[in-house]
């Protein structure tokens, strides 16, 4: 028996199926859902700006210079160097032989109703006077409580109470694609608002902090202003732009507010920021180096220089070591290690896991305080010798005892000539070769013997020192 249904019967049967715990969705409806947009409409920033705008301030700085010094040329050089700060014109005369010159214009924002203001360190650098102007036209002379060049964060204090302030957000919870706005004074146009999205959360453009990348328009004068999420929370300090012209080219960077507040707390308490140091210079580990050393995937950082007498040197870390972890935290990129070490307490003991000659080992390092960069000891250059090139195209010779003592090495050979595959890889006369595939180089005879036994179809990793930098160079032997 064949049963037919009318349109009404079909609706009834669908209802009966639903009542039985089943639901049938026509294919056409499913197709419509699959093609439905995930984002509809455009955000409206008006209420957000009304709420947060009053806490954003304009910052002008002045500097007293001797008559005839400073001026537009110096200011333009500073502008090109930092891409921020707009040079001004003389604002009047100070003491005889001096004049007060407007150094630049920037932005900032209030984080407490008793007058604490955050901005960039480069906005107030070299200023003799800092003036803060609110949206209601009130103007205050601000005191610089402290500025940290490495993070580009500065803390100011104005003598006022019951000021509007911003809520500090959590920059670790940012998501790529999230809408954000920037408020500041580009080209001295106060309280200008631009909007965009987060492009990347941890862009490695600084030694001690990962910057937030966005496509929010940021121009000279925006520097030091807030980057704000859709909840009205400040999640970054606009700090840098990527540009060839000095103006906005679609990429801007902000200091994450989490990092900025950690720096600001130290600046408020002591006027400076203390960071830990190990005393090493590091570089990225390439895929080729990782495979040659038996690491598998590219990870960690290679030690290219160890400061003589520094914490790492005393602990036994050597040039050529691959640092894999710091206090148990994996090191994936070269920027990870300075941040972790910098955040360590002075005098604390850190466990550093290194890869050395095919094995892992833990080394305990006593963390010291970071000071000014110390220059390394340059390697001595040597004239070209008469040795014949080996299979890699390298002609090498032994180091004298005096050279080993000067260079603080126990072995190694110096490159007298570089041709073929070695030259193509960038090796040149004067380089010092310390290791071949995790094997220490003792002298020229041993080095050439190792090279002669290499598989010509496999790459070889050489630990090469050039002047005060040491790094792995990967060479494919000539076939």
pLDDT for the residue 178: 94
SS3 content of the chain, % helix, strand, coil (to 5): 20, 35, 45
**Catalytic sites, residue numbers:** 122, 152, 223
Q: What distance in Å separates the CA atoms of residue 323 and residue 354, rounded to the nearest whole number?
A: 4
pLDDT for the residue 135: 93
Encoded tokens for 466: 């050039």
DSSP track, 49-73: HHHHGGGEEEEEEEEEEETTSS-HH
Query: Phi/psi at 60 (nearest 5 deg)?
Result: -120, 140
Q: What distance in Å separates the CA atoms of residue 40 and residue 17, rounded to the nearest whole number?
A: 33
C-beta of residue 301 within 8 angstroms of C-beta of residue 335: no
pLDDT for the residue 7: 40
Return all residues near 88 (Cβ < 8 A) that are at least 6 apart. Answer: 60, 75, 101, 102, 103, 104, 105
* Fold (CATH) for 167-270: Thrombin, subunit H (2.40.10)
Look up the CATH number of domain 50-157: 2.40.10.10
Domain with CATH 2.40.10.10 in the chain: 50-157, 167-270
User: Under the phi-then-psi rule, with left for phi > 0, alpha for psi from -120 to 50, and beta for the rest, what region is 245?
Assistant: alpha
Going 140 to 143 to 149 to 152, the CA torsion angle's sign is: negative
Domain with CATH 2.30.42.10 in the chain: 276-369, 394-475
Q: What distance in Å separates the CA atoms of residue 457 and residue 17, rounded to the nearest whole number?
A: 68
Encoded tokens for 155: 């803390």
- List 194's β-bridge partners, or say none: 182
Residue 367: Cβ-neighbour burial (10 angstroms; 0-12, 13-18, 19+): buried
Architecture of domain 276-369: Roll (2.30)
| 10-residue stretch averages of pLDDT, the chain, 479 residues long | 41 40 48 60 89 95 66 48 44 51 83 96 91 94 93 95 95 93 88 93 72 90 93 94 70 92 93 90 86 88 87 93 94 86 92 93 94 41 47 83 81 84 82 89 86 81 86 74
Instruction: Write down the pTM of the prediction.
Output: 0.63
C-beta of residue 152 within 8 angstroms of C-beta of residue 189: no
pLDDT for the residue 268: 93
C-beta of residue 234 within 8 angstroms of C-beta of residue 364: no
Architecture of domain 394-475: Roll (2.30)
- How many CB atoms within 10 Å of residue 346? 13
Going 15 to 16 to 21 to 23, the CA torsion angle's sign is: negative
């Amino acid at each position: 028996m064949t049963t037919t249904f009318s349109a009404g019967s079909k609706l009834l049967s669908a209802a009966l199926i639903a009542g039985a715990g089943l639901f049938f969705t026509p294919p056409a409806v499913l197709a419509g859902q699959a093609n439905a947009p995930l984002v509809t409409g455009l955000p409206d920033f008006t209420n957000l700006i009304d709420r947060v705008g009053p806490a954003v301030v304009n910052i002008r700085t002045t500097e007293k210079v001797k008559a005839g010094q400073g001026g537009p040329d110096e200011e333009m050089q500073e502008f090109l160097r930092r891409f921020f700060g707009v040079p001004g014109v003389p604002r009047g005369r100070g003491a005889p032989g001096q004049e007060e010159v407007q150094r630049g214009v920037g932005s900032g924002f209030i984080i407490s109703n008793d007058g604490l203001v955050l901005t960039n360190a480069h906005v107030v650098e070299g200023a003799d006077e800092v003036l803060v102007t609110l949206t209601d036209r009130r103007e205050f002379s601000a005191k610089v409580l402290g500025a940290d060049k490495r993070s580009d964060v500065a803390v100011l204090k104005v003598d006022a109470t019951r000021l509007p302030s911003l809520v500090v957000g959590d920059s670790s919870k940012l998501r790529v694609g999230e809408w954000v706005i920037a408020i500041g004074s580009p080209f001295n146009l106060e309280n200008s608002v631009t909007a965009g999205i987060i492009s990347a959360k941890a862009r490695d453009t600084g030694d001690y902090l990962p910057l937030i990348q966005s496509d929010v328009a940021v121009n000279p004068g925006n520097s030091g202003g807030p980057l704000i999420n859709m909840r009205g929370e400040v999640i970054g300090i606009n700090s840098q732009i990527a540009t060839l012209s000095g103006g906005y080219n679609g990429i801007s960077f902000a200091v994450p507010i989490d990092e900025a507040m950690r720096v600001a707390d130290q600046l408020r308490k002591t006027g400076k920021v203390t960071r830990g140091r190990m005393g090493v210079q590091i570089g990225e580990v390439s895929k080729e180096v990782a495979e040659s050393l038996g690491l598998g995937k590219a990870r960690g950082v290679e030690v290219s220089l160890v400061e003589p007498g520094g914490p790492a040197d005393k602990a036994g870390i050597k040039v050529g070591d691959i640092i894999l972890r710091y206090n148990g935290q994996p090191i994936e990129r070269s920027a990870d290690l300075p941040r972790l070490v910098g955040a360590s307490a002075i005098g604390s003991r850190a466990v550093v896991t290194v890869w050395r000659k095919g094995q892992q080992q833990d080394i305990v390092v006593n963390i010291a305080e970071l000071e000014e960069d110390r220059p390394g000891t340059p390697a001595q250059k040597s004239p070209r010798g008469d040795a014949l090139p080996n299979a890699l195209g390298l002609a090498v010779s032994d180091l004298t005892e005096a050279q080993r003592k000067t260079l603080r090495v126990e072995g190694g050979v110096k490159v007298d000539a570089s041709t073929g595959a070695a030259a193509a890889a960038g090796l040149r006369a004067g380089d010092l070769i310390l290791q071949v595939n995790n094997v220490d180089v003792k002298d020229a005879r041993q080095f050439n013997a190792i090279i002669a036994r290499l598989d010509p179809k496999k790459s070889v990793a050489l630990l090469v020192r050039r002047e005060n930098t040491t790094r792995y160079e990967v060479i494919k032997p000539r076939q």
